[in-house]
Structure formats: structure tokens, C-alpha cells
Amino acid sequence: GGLFRDFRNFVVNNLNIPRTSVLQRQSGHRVIFSVNSSDIPSRVEDFQTQIELVRQHVPAAKVESYEFKHLSLKEQIEIANEAAIFVTVCGGGAVTGMFLPSGASVILYYHERGGVRGGRHGNEATHTPAMLDWDLYNSITHLRVHWLPKVTMNEIQDQMSFVSLIRYELKLIESGELLR
């Protein structure tokens, strides 16, 4: 787990990006959405509903969205380095989230039936979860990781759970308990 934090810090230092803490915020914590982060149709998500929900129900949060595939590596890392929460779909640009500061949260929407045999160009559906990024994020110890199913992300109960999760994570970050 610590190896990923060390790698993150190595890259941040070598790009001359100042390392930050999720607690070093003068005003609202940043909630970053990685939108349309892939050219693979099942991984394209604009998160418009979730973005509006956070803006409506968590007004203190600074909500931003980016198409990371159009940004340089340094720009992606600078944005992640300043975020408190990173929301993305598995695959595509999800790896940018590993550059969040210690104590930040990442919310990954996974495909419950998106698995395929044969890798990226596989054409045989397994009808099982696509486990993209699973091992990576479950081994990153400096982040709080949450997995949510993509198939139900626009159902009312999932939307309200998402808002509650955002509120909870921001409250936990603001309490300072994570870094004690």
C-alpha cells in the first residue's frame, strides 16, 4: 500500500508540484468528476445528474468536471493533487485518482456486467463485473476508496446514497480525524 503513496509523491515531486493535504483548504473542498474519460462506450459517463446533485445538496463543495483525456499528465496530477473527492468510472482516466493527496476519497463506478474475455478487444461477455482498477485501488492505502455500481447510478436510492457518501467524506475530511 505505501508503495503507491511513495510513487505518487515521487511523481508529484519530480513534476515540481507542491504536495498538499486535504486539510489545507481555505474554502470549499474540491469534488472532481472525471467525465467521458474513455473512448470505450461503456466507460463514457458525463455524470451530469451526480454533478447537479452535489451542487444542490452540498453547496459548500467546489464541484468541477474535467475530460482528463484532453489534459496533459501534469495538468491531471495538479488537479488531482488539490481534490478532496475524485469521482470516475473504472477504466479510462481512473488512474488519475491515485495522485489525490493522503486522506482524500475516490468514488469508482464499476460495471456490474461489463467484463469481457480477450482484454480490451474481447468480444465475449462474461456477464460478471469488470474488475478494472480493482487491485490497484484496493491496495492504495493513502486514499479512502468506494465502489458503486454503474447500472443503478441514476436510481433515486443510489443518488441519495451518493449524496450522503459525499457529505460523509467531506465531514470526515473536515474533522481532521483522517490524518491523526
Alpha carbons 47 and 56: distance in angstroms, whole number: 14
DSSP 17-44: PPP--TT--SS--EEEEE-S--SSGGG-
Residue-level pLDDT, tens digit, the chain, 180 residues = 688 888 888 999 999 998 877 765 556 899 999 999 877 777 778 999 999 999 999 999 999 999 998 999 999 999 999 999 999 998 767 889 999 998 999 999 988 766 666 655 656 666 666 566 777 888 888 899 999 999 999 999 999 999 999 999 999 998 877 655
Sorted by where each starts, the structural domains of the chain and their CATH numbers stand as 2-175 (3.40.50.720)
Record the pTM. 0.87
